[in-house]
Amino acid sequence: MLEQIRNTHPLVYQHFSALPDGERHLRSILSIDRYWENLDLPVPDVIRDGSRLPAGTRIDEECDILYAGGTLGLLHAAVMTRKYGRRVLVIDRAEPGRTTRDWNISRGELLRLADSGVFTQAELDSTIVRTYKTGWVEFHAPAAKRKRLFMDEVLDCAVDADRLLGMARDKVLAGGGSQVLGHASFVCCYRFPDHLVVHVEEPSGKPRYFRAQVLVDAMGIVSPVAMQLNQGRPQTHVCPTVGTIASGFDNADFEVGEILASTEDAEVSGKRGRQLIWEGFPAKGDEYITYLFFYDKVDSPNDKTLLGLFEAYFRKLPEYKKPGANFTIHRPVYGIIPAYFHDGAGCTRAVSSERITLLGDAASLASPLTFCGFGSVVRNLDRMTSGLDKAMRENKLGEADLARISAYEPNVATMANLMKYMCYDPESDEPGFVNEMMNEVMIVLDELPQHYRQVMFRDEMKVEELVTVMLKVAWRYPKILKATWDKLGVGGSVGFVKNLAGWAMNQASK
């Protein structure tokens, strides 16, 4: 497979060929990139009425909850097994508990996983491989206009994701009768009044059928369930992200996290254009993680493939961090971070259906602005798991019942609008627009108490705090008003106001 990209993506070819499992990663990248082709295919038909189950189908096994997807699905499954005594089955088409990324989060947020009583503080602390003194955000501009904004306790802990997920897997397996199956793909499910039958396929093509009370869809951005429930348009915006965990940079500071950093203005070519942004996070030992990404609309004409972005990553990396003589890549990290614009005062995306609930990136309820899909599940895990247990006990498993226990948060939905300003649009923006605007936002945040930037980058902002920031930015930088018109238009602005109203009402009702 690597040979096929030798001429089209020479730098990816060169670096991936040197990795022991470069071929596996390339296959995984291409399978995520199929997301774009899938958007043009007919809407999948994976949630079927029970009457369509082929006659004579033999049920292999039964469980209370079947999780399709063994990344964040494992965290939820561990709590449902250990705290609520549910018999679960976690399936993953790849290796469950082995993710294609690592996670940053603050320690205070991570320790919220201990609220469930399933993970201890000591266990959680053991997954933190490095803590930084501070972190910063800085956008490209002439020195006089550039504002490096420092913030503490934001994404300042590097978590060994596979270690945390391995712990969760062990907890699932320790719960009597629960199972974790790798290399088992979700194909479809058949819905009956009091249960589901889930069709799973082994790599040999052998089908297996499992009876479950509830299906948790944790298949990430490529979820066919999310695609069907949202009529083939499960996201409105995306943030394609690639990078590596490597060692041997000449200029990496291991005490500081680089939360957002741009090194140039937007790349423009005809009707295409994107503002590339870097992140740099020290990890364990001498390892350092660098990411390259951009925010975009799902329907923009840009090349949004991870393969194409990886080629740009290898070409541009020396402009951000200088690989030294002993530079070594340990593994690539990648994914498409999803986003959804809710056009209303509450959640307007389908995140559930009868006996089916969506979790993590499949639900697309995190804010892409802050990169914190893992953080969103951590914040909401206790509420989601206790809610699902109650719904199962009371047999209230309808679409609306399950939607109420999703990770939807009105503040996060509103904040996700800000991502639209970060999507470079060649029709309306100067190439330096995103950098110029973000420097103004950084100046405003620098003048406010540190609390504002912390809650903004941890998705914990209150409505009055966001309004304060927005008004101060508009006062300092009136160009933002035209940008609002260009980027949101009438429909988007009304939607933003509806989001704000829903958030304010929700806050008032607490």
Ligand X SMILES: Cc1cc2nc3c(=O)[nH]c(=O)nc-3n(C[C@H](O)[C@H](O)[C@H](O)COP(=O)(O)OP(=O)(O)OC[C@H]3O[C@@H](n4cnc5c(N)ncnc54)[C@H](O)[C@@H]3O)c2cc1C
- Beta-carbon neighbour count of residue 408 at 10 Å? 19
Cα angle 313-146-130, degrees, rounded to a multiple of 5: 55
218 near ligand X, judged by CB under 6 A: yes
Q: Which is nearer to ligand X, 68 or 345 (CB)?
A: 68
Examine residue 368 and tell whether it contacts ligand X (CB under 6 A): no
Of 99, 228, 236, 302, the residue at the interface with ligand X (CB under 6 A) is: 99
Here the tokens at position 399 are 């679409």
Q: What span, in angstroms and rounded, lies between the C-alpha atoms of 345 and 186?
A: 33
What is the nearest approach in angstroms of ligand X to the Cβ of residue 134?
16
Stretch that binds ligand X, among 114-122, 124-132, 212-220, 423-431 (CB under 6 A): 212-220
User: Rounded to 5 degrees, what are φ and ψ at 43?
Assistant: -60, 130
Question: What number of residues does the chain have?
Answer: 510
Task: Give the distance from CA 441 to its chain's centroid.
Answer: 24
Tokens encoding 366? 């995190």
Range 272-301, binding ligand X (CB under 6 A)? 291
CA distance 20 to 9: 19
The Cα 380–Cα 421 span in angstroms is 27
- Residues in Cβ contact with 456 at an 8 Å cutoff, skipping those fewer than 6 apart: 370, 415, 445, 465, 466, 469
Residues 174-203, one symbol each (x = binds ligand X by CB under 6 A, - = not), give -----------xx-----------------
Stretch binding ligand X (CB under 6 A), from 8-16, 133-141, 311-319, 372-380: 372-380
Please identify, among the stretches 368-376, 412-420, 422-430, 470-478, the one whose residues bind ligand X according to the rule CB under 6 A: 368-376
Binding residues for ligand X restricted to 76-95, rule: CB under 6 A: 91-94
CB atoms under 10 Å from CB of 159, counted, come to 21
Which residues 41-80 are close enough to bind ligand X by CB under 6 A?
A: 68-73
Asked if residue 408 lies in contact with residue 352, where contact means CB atoms within 8 angstroms, the answer is no
Question: What are residue 427's phi and psi, to 5 degrees?
Answer: -70, -35
CA–CA separation, 111 vs 419, rounded Å? Answer: 28
Convert residues 318-357 into a mask of x (bound to ligand X by CB under 6 A) and - (unbound).
---------------xxx-x--------------------
Nearer to ligand X, 37 or 394 (CB): 37
User: CB 379 → ligand X: shortest distance, Å?
Assistant: 10
Nearer to ligand X, 97 or 175 (CB): 97
Q: By CB under 6 A, how many residues form the interface with ligand X? A: 37
Q: Is 371 in the site for ligand X (CB under 6 A)?
A: yes
| In contact, 41 and 230? CB cutoff 8 Å | no
Position 128 contacts ligand X (CB under 6 A): no
| Chain positions contacting ligand X, by CB under 6 A | 68-73, 91-94, 99, 101, 103-105, 185-186, 218-220, 222, 241, 243, 291, 333-335, 337, 360-362, 366, 371-375
